[in-house]
Amino acid sequence: MPFTSDHELFRKTVRDFAEKELLPNRKEWEAARQFPEELFKRAGQLGFFGICYPESVGGSGADYWFKAVFCEEMVRCRMAGLLMDFLVQADIATPVIQTLGTEEQKREFLIPAIRGEKIAALGVTEPGCGSDVASLQTRAEKKGDDYVINGAKMFCTNGGRADFITLAVRTGAPGHRGISLLLFPTDAKGFRVGRKLEKIGNHTSDTALLHFEGCRIPRRYLLGEENQGFKYIMNNFQGERLVAALISVAGSQLALDDAVRYTREREAFGKRVLDFQVWQHRFADLETAIEAARRLTYHAVSLFDQKKECTREISMAKLFAGDLAQRVAYDCLQAHGGYGYMEEYDIARFTRDIRLITIGAGTSEIMKEIIARRMGLLDS
Ligand SMILES: Cc1cc2nc3c(=O)[nH]c(=O)nc-3n(C[C@H](O)[C@H](O)[C@H](O)COP(=O)(O)OP(=O)(O)OC[C@H]3O[C@@H](n4cnc5c(N)ncnc54)[C@H](O)[C@@H]3O)c2cc1C
């Protein structure tokens, strides 16, 4: 196994946080459709947003296996929405600042995000386009020393309370060559949170529609080079998809363990439900598939940790683990009978929450496109 005693110590810290500080609040925060904002600071103090960032920006400089541990243990809070907001903060909206940002940009945006003092969001998807990133319309025009931004962003996680947004905008011609990334402070005039979106799951996550109407921000907030944004976004997607695979595997394992425990206690026709061979075999199938998903994901983690090109492996891990999690949710809810359909059982929430994983961060169809392209199938 790749984990050392240091990883295991960290595992205990994350598990304690998830099970003692978060889990007991799940019903209240799910009903409120949010978790307290102070938790960003608390997680920042615990070092959870800086796991793999270098010490120079306030991170721990740890290897990516610590990130795997974080994902594996955080699912135990059983609020996929909260976990998603945390992952946006550390793995989705900010890695590109570490890769491309100037010292000034890191000081103003990345360091406070790692500390949990500023909330970060990523704005790529728009009302008219998601998978087809190259067709985004939100425009940034150069005016003097500023960019003036007009447009809208859809499904923006942390969008309702973000202090800044890593924002994809069109600065050039139509298509993928005309896109740039900007760091957008949400106190800019003309920015407006349109509405908080009501979802079928991930209730503790803040998901918003955002409007930009003549927003002026300084040109020094450009990340990297102008019109190179599409490439930056595609690179940034890799970490996002890898954490999605990790939480799919860990969430699936937790759901299966719950179902085994439940069927061990529940009786029907004078015996435990688990004593029916159909359930023993179904659980054996799921355990085998989850182990396969874990191995595929760990392989991607290992390559990513060594900074090797692994788009193919990450796409496969997200595709396989995300699709499998749907089957796990279905079977494990079925094993609970009517109780599985009740809000008070965690499997009900898991079923709703995990549905997102084959859509967000690139759909399963897009993962297949990427894999097919790497097989050379799109050129033939
Ligand atoms: C809760 C939630 C949170 C999100 N958070 C964020 C966020 O923080 N920031 C952000 O930028 N985005 C976010 N998203 C957006 C998410 O990444 C997109 O929803 C996703 O990329 C799909 O885009 P779309 O919804 O526009 O679907 P579309 O692109 O319109 O796709 C519709 C269907 O067509 C299929 N399809 C599209 N293209 C192809 C193709 N080439 N071949 C075959 N099938 C295809 C898709 O797979 C899908 O099944 C979030 C979404 C949700 C639901």
Report the pLDDT averaged over residues 121-126.
98
Atom 24, ligand 1: residue with shortest CA distance: 130
Residue 170 CA to residue 245 CA, distance in Å, equals 30
pLDDT band at 379 (very low <50, low <70, confident <90, very high): confident
115 contacts 187 by C-beta, under 8 angstroms: no
Nearest to residue 80, comparing CAs of 331, 350, 321? 350
333 contacts 341 by C-beta, under 8 angstroms: yes
pLDDT (0 to 100) of residue 2 = 87
Kindly tell me if the per-residue pLDDT of 114 is higher than 80: yes
Atom 26, ligand 1: residue with shortest CA distance: 130
* CA angle (158 as vertex; 255, 363 as ends), nearest 5: 55
| 39, β-bridge pairs | none
Kindly tell me if the per-residue pLDDT of 380 is higher than 90: no
Residue 98 CA to residue 103 CA, distance in Å, equals 9
Report the pLDDT averaged over residues 75-97.
98
C-alpha 157 – ligand 1 centre gap (Å): 13
240 an active-site residue?
yes
In tens, the pLDDT along 264-301 reads 999 999 999 999 999 999 999 999 999 999 999 999 99
pLDDT band at 121 (very low <50, low <70, confident <90, very high): very high
Among 19, 240, 265, 313, which one carries the catalytic annotation? 240
Neighbour-count burial of 364, counting CB atoms closer than 10 A to its CB (0-12 exposed, 13-18 middle, 19+ buried):
middle
Which residue among 363, 364, 366, 371 has the greatest number of ligand 1 atoms within 8 angstroms of its CB, and so is best to mutate? 363
pLDDT (0 to 100) of residue 132 = 97
Report the pLDDT averaged over residues 342-349.
96
Question: What is the average pLDDT value for the chain, to the nearest integer?
Answer: 97
* CA angle (144 as vertex; 143, 147 as ends), nearest 5: 45
Which residue among 359, 367, 373 has the greatest number of ligand 1 atoms within 8 angstroms of its CB, and so is best to mutate? 359
pLDDT (0 to 100) of residue 213 = 98
Kindly tell me if the per-residue pLDDT of 98 is higher than 90: yes
C-alpha 31 – ligand 1 centre gap (Å): 26
Kindly tell me if the per-residue pLDDT of 7 is higher than 90: yes
CA atoms within a 13 Å half-sphere pointing along the CA-CB vector of 89: 32
Nearest to residue 212, comparing CAs of 129, 126, 133, 128? 126
Q: How far apart are the first and last CA of the chain?
A: 40
Kindly tell me if the per-residue pLDDT of 10 is higher than 70: yes
In tens, the pLDDT along 140-154 reads 999 999 999 999 999
Kindly tell me if the per-residue pLDDT of 196 is higher than 90: no
C-alpha 130 – ligand 1 centre gap (Å): 4
Kindly tell me if the per-residue pLDDT of 233 is higher than 80: yes
